[in-house]
Amino acid sequence: MRVNCINPGGTRTSMRASAFPTEDPQKLKTPADIMPLYLWLMGDDSRRKTGMTFDAQPGRKPGIAQ
């Protein structure tokens, strides 16, 4: 069994736009931008990863949170 966590950070959604109307949405990743990290974690390539937190926030490379 694998247990990991993804910190998606601010993500460009209509709910976030309603909550933060003055925020520039172009500075946020879309759900499609961060989906590859989710898919990778569900796949065989990440089978040796467990107990980790992965960061998908803008301005940072997707990967292990520091």
pLDDT tens, residue order, the chain (66 aa) = 899 999 999 999 999 999 999 999 998 999 999 999 999 999 999 999 999 999 987 565 555 554
Look up tokens 């590859």; give the residue.
36
Question: Total structural domains in the chain?
Answer: 1
In this structure, is residue 35 part of a structural domain? Answer: yes
Q: What is the pLDDT of residue 7?
A: 93
Position 61 scores a pLDDT of 55
Residue among 11, 54, 14 at smallest CA distance from 33: 11
Q: Which domain holds residue 43?
A: 5-59
Q: Is residue 19 part of a domain?
A: yes
- pLDDT in the model for residue 57: 79
Q: Which pTM does this prediction carry?
A: 0.75
Q: Residue 13 domain-assigned?
A: yes
- The phi and psi torsions of 24 (rounded to 5 degrees) equal -80, 110
The reply to whether 40 falls in a domain is: yes
Say if 20 falls within a structural domain. yes
Q: Is residue 64 part of a domain?
A: no
Q: How far is CA 24 from CA 27, 30, 33, 41, in A?
A: 6, 13, 17, 29
